[in-house]
Structure 1
């Protein structure tokens, strides 16, 4: 726990840094959790592992997730779609698929590129 990581300590990759940040959040046990691109630097296998850990961490707490990867937000209670700094849609994944053309397009593109 006291090992220095980073500039004067051990060098770590972006993915390792993200996993360390999530582990620290587990230890702190916060009431409110904010995740910014929590799986952005991870390969698919690591992303799946981290997603499972995050699901446990998010239980019974308010969580704000900022993400571009659909897999990170698809199960959220409420998704806000933001375009040019403005909220243009909100709802569950299924609700937005039906009501927000750009969200549906975004989802379609994510599945095509995988």
Structure 2
């Protein structure tokens, strides 16, 4: 079995696909405090849709992989809504949301 703790995704090998998508943007120069507030707001958006993320932020980019929590059913409208939310943030430029892919790769 492989997975993540604290409400994350758990999958028995060969049982089913766990779908997720990449979410990224270029960030304008921000202070540490602004970056922290931005990440808190993004996490709240994800939580409200039953999703979690892995990845992070560096000085000028956000690159994360988004997955539904094991007890949630995320939809394509959730994926698009997150991309639109990012696009509305003053710190974000060049927002990109990838297609749904199997988080564990092709078997």
| Higher helix residue share | 1
Between the two structures, name the one with larger relative contact order (CA 8 Å, sep ≥ 6). Answer: 2
Larger Rg computed on CA atoms:
1
TM-score of Structure 1 vs Structure 2, range by shorter chain: under 0.3
Higher strand share: 2
Question: TM-score of the superposition, structure 2-length normalised?
Answer: 0.25
User: TM-score normalized by structure 1?
Assistant: 0.24
